[in-house]
Amino acid sequence: MLHRNCPSPSHDDFHSKPSFHLWISGVSKMMKMSKKEKKIFRKQVRSCKILEKHEGIKSVDEASRFLFIGNGGLVCGVQREDLMTIFNEFGPIEDIVMLPEKPYSFVVFQDVQNAEAAMLASIRGVFLQELNHSFHLSYVDKVPHHVNPYESGLLPPGLILLEDFLTEEEENLLMELDVKEEKEDDINNTVVCHRSLKHRQVKHYGFEFNYRTNNVDKDHPLKEPIPTICIQHLRRIQDITGLFPKLPDQLTVNKYLPGQGIPPHIDTHSAFEDGIISLSLGSQIVMDFQNPAGEHVPFLLPRRSALIMTGESRYSWSHGITPRKTDVVPDTDHSGQLTLMHRRTRVSLTFRVIRRGECNCGYPKQCDSQQKYKR
């Protein structure tokens, strides 16, 4: 097992514990082992066999930059940011490879010495308090072929990102639209435009979105239209993109605390027209997109950016935010390395155009308007 603060053992440590089987250090010398050590060894051998069977990759004795992390895959409940937190202390990481539905992963260090430091630390067998989880490490000479999700070019068609769209001053002014939870006015039976959901707080302008029906009551607009402070930004998006012949008339303000997210979804076709705008305030975030074939693509939304979903990205791909407190993102120095980003409180402003009539888009399988006529 690993502990982030575990000091790397010296060369003499290999001889100070003659009962330990040094399989993972490349010294395949069987000595007298305790019952616990035999159990660890068997699990390690089993992990290596699974790796060879599934990927055709064998463990090697000679130290390399590539570490196989048995019992460290997505199906084991281990996330990419967990591995980054643990292994980043041993040196710069070039890549972390996590494969769907696999019980293992790979850490690629920039230098062999960094991988050796992590391997030696694992031999100490220190209990990992952060995860309450044990890993089985081995050197390998390569990692499975994979596509870096941030460089894959598989982004949803029709997706537009305007980085640095807002200035800090503009961001601060828009943050004043922050969500403040209010109770329903039982006396006047007014429509609630502030509410606290399970995963976040939300406020609506123009029209309220009903989360039970996933639609809007188009005949009963709210008393508060989209604030005038937003109009200048919407007109600027019109000018930049040439889209939105009609200005949005519905706004949803979501407040996310670190660790909160929103389930994957496609905005209801019959509720809103093509073109959805989302401004990110206060913190950057990774939004997860998924196409109908089930392929996942992470997409980094920088702070003060404007995201615009049109066409296929709006109608066919689902989008959501995984509830967690950190994200693994490309380093800002564009070195190709990954870095761990801690989330902060984020406020998103999502603008939409209310649809009058049914939707007749080119994506009938995801379209509620077209699906209801097939029933």
Look at residue 24 in the predicted model and tell me its pLDDT.
Answer: 42
Q: How many CB atoms lie within 10 A of CB 276?
A: 19
Q: Are residues 89 and 222 in the same domain?
A: no
Q: Are residues 130 and 174 in the same domain?
A: no
Beta bridge partner(s), residue 105: 69, 98
Look at residue 307 in the predicted model and tell me its pLDDT.
Answer: 98
Q: Domain end: 140, 172, 202, which one? A: 140
Residue with tokens 């209310």: 354
Q: Are residues 163 and 203 in the same domain?
A: yes
Q: Are residues 97 and 169 in the same domain?
A: no
d(CA 290, CA 218): 29
Q: Are residues 120 and 225 in the same domain?
A: no
Indicate whether 204 belongs to any domain. Answer: yes
Q: Are residues 134 and 164 in the same domain?
A: no
Indicate whether 8 belongs to any domain. Answer: no
Q: How many domains does the chain have?
A: 2
Indicate whether 353 belongs to any domain. Answer: yes
Look at residue 81 in the predicted model and tell me its pLDDT.
Answer: 78
- Judge whether 2 and 135 are in contact, CB under 8 Å: yes
Indicate whether 7 belongs to any domain. Answer: no
List of residues 6+ apart from 372 with CB closer than 8 A: none
Kindly list the distances between the CA atom of residue 181 and the CA atoms of 167, 184, 186, 200, in Å, as whole numbers in the listed order.
Answer: 27, 10, 15, 11
Indicate whether 150 belongs to any domain. Answer: no
d(CA 352, CA 334): 34
Q: Are residues 129 and 171 in the same domain?
A: no
Look at residue 3 in the predicted model and tell me its pLDDT.
Answer: 38
Indicate whether 113 belongs to any domain. Answer: yes
Q: Are residues 136 and 169 in the same domain?
A: no
Q: How many CB atoms lie within 10 A of CB 36?
A: 9
What angle (nearest 5°) sits at the alpha carbon of residue 249, between those of residues 316 and 309?
A: 25
Q: Are residues 208 and 262 in the same domain?
A: yes
Q: What is the CATH number of the domain that holds 316?
A: 2.60.120.1520
Look at residue 196 in the predicted model and tell me its pLDDT.
Answer: 54
Kindly list the distances between the CA atom of residue 350 and the CA atoms of 92, 203, 253, 338, in Å, as whole numbers in the listed order.
Answer: 37, 11, 6, 29
Please give the model's pTM, rounded to 2 decimal places. 0.69
Per-residue pLDDT for the chain (375 aa), expressed as one digit of tens each? 443 333 333 444 433 333 333 344 433 434 456 776 677 677 778 888 888 888 899 989 899 999 999 888 877 877 777 888 889 889 999 888 888 678 889 999 999 999 999 888 875 544 344 456 778 888 999 998 766 667 666 789 999 999 999 999 999 999 988 665 444 443 333 333 445 555 678 999 999 999 888 899 999 999 999 999 999 999 999 999 999 999 999 999 999 999 999 999 999 999 999 999 999 999 999 999 999 998 888 999 999 999 999 999 999 999 999 998 888 887 666 655 667 788 999 999 999 999 999 999 999 999 999 988 765
Q: Are residues 121 and 172 in the same domain?
A: no
Q: What is the CATH number of the domain that holds 45?
A: 3.30.70.330
* Closest residue by Cα to residue 100 from 258, 293, 286, 287: 293
Q: Are residues 163 and 195 in the same domain?
A: yes
Q: Domain end: 140, 170, 188, which one? A: 140
Helix (H, G, I), strand (E, B) or coil at 347: strand
d(CA 106, CA 195): 43
Look at residue 189 in the predicted model and tell me its pLDDT.
Answer: 34
- Residue 295 CB burial class (10 angstroms; 0-12, 13-18, ≥19): middle
Query: How, if at all, do strands 215-216 and 194-196 pair?
Result: unpaired
Q: Domain end: 140, 168, 193, which one? A: 140
- Domain of 249 in residue numbering reads as 159-372
Residue with tokens 């699990």: 43
Indicate whether 152 belongs to any domain. Answer: no
Q: Are residues 166 and 23 in the same domain?
A: no
Indicate whether 302 belongs to any domain. Answer: yes
Kindly list the distances between the CA atom of residue 37 and the CA atoms of 3, 5, 21, 32, in Å, as whole numbers in the listed order.
Answer: 18, 22, 8, 9
Look at residue 61 in the predicted model and tell me its pLDDT.
Answer: 87
